[in-house]
Amino acid sequence: MESTPQKLELIRKYFSDFTETQLEQFAALEELYKDWNAKINVISRKDIDSIYLHHVLHSLSIAAVADFAPGTQVIDIGCGGGFPGVPLAIFFPEVKFLMVDSIAKKLKVVDAVAEGAGIKNITTRHTRVEDIKNRKFDFAVSRAVAPLKSLWAWASPLLKKGQDQDIANGLICLKGGDLAQEISESGVRPNIMPVDKIFPESYFEGKFVLHVRK
């Protein structure tokens, strides 16, 4: 098995300019997730040894298409064990992330990982996203949570309109497979970016970043 520093090379292959703190936070994720996954299963057993490719780098495909400015407010809808929000919070330490899930034990893992890795810009909330009122965000992010139609129905009321940075405010989600029917049923027209064009790794074939502008 590769050592953690070698695994970090996978991330450093595509991104530079990390601070020492960020590198330490990324490096801490493997042991934290292995420890917590043994107690509360949030990552499939076959995936845990590939956490940097399958989870961390996959999450960072959002960072490759959206350079969130300091002060940006992001909601991670159905964050599960913390993807894509946890890697994005490390990548963008000046951005505020609200991680939302309806399953409390998953948020327990997110809280523990954030504390263990010293990630200060994450808050968690145990709720259904449709029950969030009186909050507005610049972006919603999500990975493999629900069909695009549902995601947009949940995200749209929470999003501010506008474009203060290189990409318009909206929903950015990670999806896989044949999306033609799902997009057709959603009633929206997302911008679709293949992840394997961002990171040329065979694992990402058939995986996409979708951006729906508010």
Model pTM?
0.95
Per-residue pLDDT of 96-146, as tens digits, reads 999 999 999 999 999 999 999 999 999 999 999 999 988 999 999 999 889
Per-residue pLDDT of 162-191, as tens digits, reads 888 889 999 999 999 899 999 999 999 999
What's residue 3's pLDDT? 59
Binding site as annotated, residues for S-adenosyl-L-methionine: 78, 83, 129-130, 143
3-state SS track over the chain = CCCHHHHHHHHHCCCCCCCHHHHHHHHHHHHHHHHHHHHCCCCCCCCHHHHHHHHHHHHHHHHHHCCCCCCCEEEEECCCCCCCHHHHHHHCCCCEEEEEECCHHHHHHHHHHHHHHCCCCEEEEECCHHHCCCCCECEEEEECCCCHHHHHHHHHHHECCCCCCCCCCEEEEEEECCCHHHHHHHCCCCEEEEHHHHCCCHHHCCEEEEEEEC
Mean pLDDT of the region 55-82: 96
| Percent of residues, the chain, with pLDDT higher than 70 | 98
Mean pLDDT of the region 189-212: 97
What's residue 4's pLDDT? 62
The answer to whether the beta carbons of residues 124 and 107 sit under 8 Å apart is yes
Task: Walk me through the domains of the chain, giving residue ranges and CATH numbers.
Answer: 4-213 (3.40.50.150)
Binding site as annotated, residues: 78, 83, 129-130, 143
Per-residue pLDDT of 5-37, as tens digits, reads 677 899 999 998 899 999 999 999 999 999 998
